[in-house]
């Protein structure tokens, strides 16, 4: 029986200290360490995955670009985007990497469905899409059987910085956000709560 899942709501947190905290937790954990999910927003930052190519950053301007060890290419984080970092012992959960990616995608589809938004993953391009437009990005790193990094869901944000990059390495990829698909104002705290429950369900953890 794994230890209870710890969920931390961190509000708006700078990217680099959060990255270092993820790395530290992953490096120091052992078989008895509880899994954690961190829910937060970041100030404006571009992050470039380990396979990232510089030419996909078209015009960073005043937004910093940070090289990271997750999979994938370049993406944007900013206020109004909900980020979930998953520090999970996937061996203990008896999951493979593909299982974890599928669970994250299922959780996002379930969350968006609760708002009446029909979304789906795509086999050729990780993430979750509404039609042809990407609404959520995924990027993971596995170290010693444990995951870190995670997902980013566009909720209600300034979408302009996505135009400064080829999102996830795809030139001209349309990006969208939850607020553009629902008539009422979206409340970030409610989206956080729904995402937590959807991730618990997809990962096999009991609800909070």
Q: Which residues are catalytic?
A: 168
Strands 6-12 and 36-41: parallel
Length of the chain: 208
CB 84 within 8 A of CB 18: no
Among candidates 73, 72, 4, 75, which has minimal Cα distance to 42? 75
Q: Report residue 141: phi and psi, to 5°.
A: -135, 135
The order of strands in the sheet holding 74-77 is 65-67, 45-48, 74-77
Cα separation values, 142 from 40, 50, 98, 99, 109, Å: 21, 13, 11, 13, 23
The span from the CA of 61 to the CA of 79, in Å, is: 17
* Contact present, 170 and 162 (Cβ < 8 Å): no
């Amino acid at each position: 029986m794994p230890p209870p899942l710890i969920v931390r709501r961190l509000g708006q947190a700078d990217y680099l200290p959060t990255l270092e905290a993820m790395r530290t937790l992953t490096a120091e954990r052992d078989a008895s360490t509880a899994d954690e999910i961190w829910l937060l927003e970041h100030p404006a930052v571009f992050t470039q995955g380990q396979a990232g190519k510089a030419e996909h950053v078209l015009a960073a301007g005043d937004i910093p670009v940070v090289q990271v060890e997750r999979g994938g290419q370049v993406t944007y984080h900013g206020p109004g985007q909900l980020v979930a970092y998953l520090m999970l012992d996937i061996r203990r959960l008896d999951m493979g990497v593909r299982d974890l990616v599928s669970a994250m995608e299922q959780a996002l589809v379930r969350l968006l469905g609760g708002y009446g938004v029909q979304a789906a993953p795509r086999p050729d391009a990780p993430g979750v899409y509404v039609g042809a437009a990407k609404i959520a990005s995924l990027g993971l790193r596995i170290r010693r059987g444990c995951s870190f990094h995670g997902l980013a869901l566009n909720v209600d944000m300034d979408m302009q910085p996505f135009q400064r990059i080829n999102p996830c390495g795809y030139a001209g990829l349309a990006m969208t956000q939850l607020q553009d698909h629902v008539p009422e104002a979206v409340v970030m705290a409610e989206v956080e709560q729904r995402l937590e429950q959807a991730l618990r369900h997809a990962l096999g953890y009991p609800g909070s």
